[in-house]
Structure 1
């Protein structure tokens, strides 16, 4: 259970020091270091030293590729094979038609659940909850620029890597269900090498 907590924390927060991890998990720094050493030996996490001014470098821990694989990627291998087969036999246009049909269904499904929420923040909160149930480990925050919707995991990452249409469809869906009164921009993208996908949501009258 402790191991899962460590991996989950690094997945949602990104690189952290042993002291920061200990504070977040309410354990001793020594206890955190022991667990981190074990996870490093198992190949699930890695560390890097960063120099920030005078003094000893600070050691940061993050997930390795193997550590990230511990989080679900929905039927990744089968999905990739099906996408490749569709491209080869039916062509790009047919694949895009399937993605578009899925987008329309998602819009309708999300809209039904968001209609009951009147304020923008309530709609964003509900959207994050829906996405979390779908495996995206989503959360949101509010700041002086508007809102930031973060997805710490992508359960269809393997499919998205070989077909960017899935990512475009996702953004289109968000824009549709949150309404014309907001601007939505993707500011982080897992496919581009970022740790997470994140969307800046700004009310047009903000």
Structure 2
């Protein structure tokens, strides 16, 4: 069964919350879903019975371990991965036929195509913040569960992607991840710094990029 973007059932909503926020206690789940802890417990128990979530402990200094719930491997698999098996097969075929140079050409062509698509969509944006907000909307629609945090108003933001729909391809070919960073840089321009802070392929729960409006010295 494929997890769909419209989180219309209580269980799917809960999976989405844990995917976006990481491990959560029952109180945290209840707060995110604006339901009682008992209702949260019932939903969690149903998902645990299906093998979609699992319980672990978070240890904090000077206190008792806190029981939290996180997605199991089966739970993570409920999120779309952009036809993962086919993507990996195509990459393997391209490597076999054309070598590393062919893979680089493939990534460059993909980069240019997406850049053109994004540039057209962002053409009406005036400020950097507007471009970021529209970029986040595009990425979110593509399944990245993207969102934007303001670190310093007008100067620094954090672009967060809680899911990677091309995860299998990125795991097979690290060039995809470098390509994503180059893509953001191309879209946002030379006057903007783009730094990856967190990386799903490195075992972290999300990808996060620090976006900084650079000060131009006169």
Tell me the TM-score range normalised by the shorter chain.
over 0.9
Corresponding residue to 1:174 among 165, 176, 184: 184
**Who is 2:164 aligned against?**
154
CA drift at 1:205: 2.3
Residue 90 to residue 55, structure 1, CA distance change in 2 (3 Å): closer
Corresponding residue to 2:45 among 26, 37, 44: 37
Is 1:190 the counterpart of 2:208 in the alignment? no
Is 1:79 the counterpart of 2:87 in the alignment? yes
CA drift at 1:78: 1.0
CA drift at 1:131: 0.7
In 2: Cα distance, 1:155 partner to 1:53 partner: 35
Residue 51 to residue 95, structure 1, CA distance change in 2 (3 Å): closer
Is 1:70 the counterpart of 2:47 in the alignment? no
In 2: Cα distance, 1:102 partner to 1:52 partner: 44
**Who is 1:135 aligned against?**
143
CA drift at 1:46: 1.3
Unaligned runs of 5+ in 2: 1-8
Unaligned runs of 5+ in 1: none
Q: RMSD over aligned Cα, in angstroms?
A: 1.4
Flag as ranges the 4+ runs of structure 1 deviating above 6 A: none
**Who is 1:98 aligned against?**
106
In 2: Cα distance, 1:36 partner to 1:125 partner: 33
Corresponding residue to 1:21 among 19, 23, 29: 29
TM-score, structure 1 as length reference: 0.95
Residue 53 to residue 196, structure 1, CA distance change in 2 (3 Å): closer
SS in 2 for 1:90: helix
Residue 135 to residue 55, structure 1, CA distance change in 2 (3 Å): closer
CA drift at 1:38: 1.8
**Who is 1:50 aligned against?**
58
